[in-house]
A = this chain, B = another copy of it.
Amino acid sequence: MSDELMEKAARLDTADELAKHREKFVLDTAPDTASGASAVPAGVYLDGNSLGALPAHVPDRVADVVSRQWGELRIRSWDESGWWTAPERIGDRIAPLVGAAAGQIVVGDSTSVNVFKAVVAGARMAGEGRDEILVDATTFPTDGYIAESAARLTGHRLVALDPAEIPAAAGERTALALVNHVDYRTGRLQDLPGVTAALHAAGALAVWDLCHSAGALPVGLDEHGVDLAVGCTYKYLNGGPGAPAYLYVAERHQGRFDSPLPGWNSHADPFGMTSGYRAADGALRGRVGTPDILSMLALEAALEVWDGVRIEDVRAKSLALTDFFLECVRAYAPAGRVESVTPEAHGERGSQVALRCAEAPAVMAELIRRGVVGDLRRPDILRFGFTPLYVGFADAERAARVLAEVLADIPPAGTADFPPAGTSDGAADLPPAVSPARAR
C-alpha cells in the first residue's frame, strides 16, 4: 500500500509543471550525504496557509532596503526608492492574482483594520434604509469582532449567518455581507459568484475576505463584480510574518468610498498638510498612515515568485494535492480516528485539508516533533495547508504516513497511555511547538 502510494507520488511529482518553483523557497533540507546524493527534504511544511515559506531571494532584498535605502539614502528613499508609492504599486502586483485590474488595490495595515475600512465604507455606500450587516457566522473571528464594532459605530444591526443562508437572507434592509471566501477551519470554499450575485439582486454589497484563497485559487474579483475585498499576504502570498494586508475597492465605487480611517496618506495632497481633509482619487483612499516599509518591501520582493505562474495551474495542483492527501489518509490512517471536514467536491474545497480528531492537540504536537508541520484549530481540528508552489505529492504522502504512525502511537481518547502517566491533560502539556498555529 505504502509502496504503491509512494510510487504514485513520485509519478505525480515528475509530471508536475509547478515543481520547478519549489527551489525558489527556503525549505528544510537534510545535509548532503557524502556520496553526493542531492539533499532531501527533512520536514514537510503544511502550514503555509498560516505563514508562507521564505522565498530565497527575499533576505538579500530586505538587506538592501535596510542597509542602503534606510541606512544610506535615509529620507530620500521616500522618493528615490519608491517608498511612498509602495502601497498602490504592490497592490497592482497582487491584483492579477485575485482577478482585479490595476488601480483597485492598496496594501497596508492588518486584515482587521482593512475589514473595518471595508465594512464602514460599505455600510455608508449602501444608503438609507439599509440598516443591516450580514456576517459569515463561520468567519475567522476577527472579521466578526470588527464587523460588530463597525455596526455599532454606524448604527447597523449585525446578523451572523452561515454563508449558505446569506443569499436567501439578503433583502432590502441589507447593506452588505462580509463573507470569508475559504473557511479557515474546514477549508470550505464558498460560492463567491453566487453569493455576490444574490447580494446584488437584493441591492446589497458583497465584501469578501480572501485570506485563505488569494494565491491558492482564482478569485475573479472583477469578473464576479465583487464590491470590496480584503486579504492578508502572509499565507499563500508568502509576504512574511505579519506582512501588510490589502484592500480592494472596485473602481465603480471609489468615488464614494468614504473611509472611517482618513489618514493623511489618503489625502488628495498629503504634503499640502492642510487642516481640511480631501480624499485622493482612486484606491489611494484606502491608505491611512505611513506605510510599514520593511514589511511592505519584503512582500514586494516575495511576490516575484509568481512571475510566470498561472493561478489556474496553481488551483489544479492544489486540488490534486488535497485529493491525493485524502487518498493517502484513507489508506493509512487507523479506522475511525480522523474524519475530514473539508468538502470532497472540488467546487467547495479551498487549499487545505482539515481532519477532525479527538486527540488533535497531542497528535499535532507529535506530528510537528516528527517534522510534519500543520496546525491545530481548537478543540479538535488538524489543519494541513497545501501551497502548490513548494509542496509536492511526496510531501503529501509522507505527511499522511507520519500521521498514521502518530495515530498508532497515540491511543484513542479514553484508552490512553499517551501522554505518559503523570500528565493528565495532554493539551496542557503541549510542547511549545504545537501552539504556534498563530496568525490564523
Contact = CB atoms under 8 A, between A and B. Distances in A.
A255 interface: no
B262 A145 contact: yes
Given A66-B58, A66-B59, A149 B261 contact: yes
Contacts of A83: 241-242, 438
A244 interface: yes
A42 to B, nearest CB: 11
B79 A263 contact: no
Contacts of A19: none
A79 B289 contact: no
Interface residues of A, number: 93
Contacts of A437: 75, 271
Interface string A146-182: 1011000110000010000000000000000000000
A69 B69 CA distance: 23
A372 B298 CA distance: 30
Contact of A148 (B84, B137, B277): B277
Contacts of A368: 76
Given A78-B439, A113-B261, A295-B293, A54 B67 contact: yes
Given A45-B74, A293-B295, A294-B242, A264 B141 contact: yes
B70 A50 contact: no
Interface string A305-348: 00000000000000000000000000000000000000000000
A98 interface: no
A262 B146 contact: yes
A304 to B, nearest CB: 15
B142 A80 contact: no
A130 interface: no
Given A78-B438, A83-B438, A145-B277, A288 B113 contact: yes
A215 B440 CA distance: 35
B72 A26 contact: yes
B66 A298 contact: yes
Contacts of A185: 273
A116 B109 CA distance: 13
A355 interface: no
Contacts of A262: 145-146, 148-149
A145 B26 CA distance: 43
Contacts of A261: 112-113, 116, 146, 149
A53 interface: yes
Contacts of A80: 432-433, 436
A53 B75 CA distance: 9
Interface stretch (A201-209, A246-254, A373-381, A411-419): A373-381
A104 to B, nearest CB: 22
A144 interface: yes
A67 B63 CA distance: 11
Nearest to A264: B142
Contacts of A293: 240-242, 295
A234 interface: yes
B62 A74 contact: no
A262 B116 CA distance: 10
B79 A438 contact: yes
A424 interface: no
A213 interface: no
Q: 7 tightest CB-CB pairs across the interface, nearest first?
A: A110-B289, A78-B438, A112-B263, A112-B289, A241-B293, A54-B71, A142-B264
Given A79-B436, A294-B298, 20 more contacts: A51-B70, A51-B78, A54-B66, A62-B294, A70-B240, A75-B373, A76-B373, A78-B436, A110-B290, A110-B292, A112-B289, A140-B273, A141-B275, A145-B263, A145-B267, A146-B263, A149-B261, A242-B293, A242-B294, A243-B294
24 contacts: A51-B70, A58-B66, A59-B71, A62-B66, A74-B373, A76-B373, A78-B435, A80-B436, A83-B241, A109-B289, A110-B292, A111-B290, A112-B289, A146-B261, A149-B262, A153-B153, A240-B293, A241-B293, A241-B294, A243-B294, A244-B292, A264-B440, A292-B292, A292-B295
